[in-house]
């Protein structure tokens, strides 16, 4: 029984999310939860299309406020200007395709890798 529960709650691996790096920009999918209790990146949302970065923002999905929240959150975590974060598709959808200039795929991957708890090492 516990084995089944563990499998159901495991997060998808960062490699399961497609991240493309081309011409100095990184493109990937984001799954947004607006009106969250805090702004946060919460791993990978696993879906039929290969996964998306799971993002929660406090902004409501009204007049582009949640999109602005996503831009500010990603820009802040990656140390780039909010103008470097563009939403390519899904402006009015929870699942979006974003492009960020001036970062690498490795930097984006680092945002979604689980941080080891105190006393643990990666992978164990």
| pLDDT at 10 (0 to 100) | 39
- Residue 91 domain-assigned? yes
pLDDT band at 120 (very low <50, low <70, confident <90, very high): low
The tally of domains found in the chain comes to: 1
What is the spatial distance between Cα 20 and Cα 30, in angstroms, rounded to a whole number? Answer: 13
The CATH number covering residue 98 comes to 3.30.1200.10
Task: Report CA torsion sign: 47, 59, 105, 86.
Answer: positive
Beta bridge partners of 56: 33, 40
User: For residue 4, what pLDDT band results from cuts at 50, 70 and 90?
Assistant: very low
54 is a domain residue: yes
In a domain, 95, yes or no: yes
The predicted model scores a pTM of 0.76
> Above 70 in pLDDT, residue 48?
no
How far apart CA 39 and CA 21 sit, in angstroms, is 25
**What's the CA gap between 75 and 69, in Å, rounded?**
10
Domain carrying residue 29: 18-112
- Residue 3 resides in a domain: no
In a domain, 60, yes or no: yes
Using pLDDT thresholds of 50, 70 and 90, give the confidence band for residue 11.
Answer: very low
């Amino acid at each position: 029984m516990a084995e089944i529960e563990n499998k159901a709650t495991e997060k998808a691996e960062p490699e399961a999310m497609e991240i493309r790096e081309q011409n100095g920009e990184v493109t990937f999918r984001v799954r947004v939860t607006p009106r969250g209790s805090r702004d946060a990146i919460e791993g990978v949302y696993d879906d039929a299309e290969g996964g998306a970065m799971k993002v929660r923002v406090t902004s409501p999905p009204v007049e582009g406020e949640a999109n602005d929240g996503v831009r500010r959150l990603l820009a802040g975590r990656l140390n780039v200007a909010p103008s470097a974060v563009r939403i390519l598709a899904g402006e009015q959808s929870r699942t979006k395709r974003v492009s960020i200039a001036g970062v690498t795929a490795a930097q984006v991957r680092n945002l979604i890798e689980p941080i080891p708890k105190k006393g643990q090492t990666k992978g164990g």
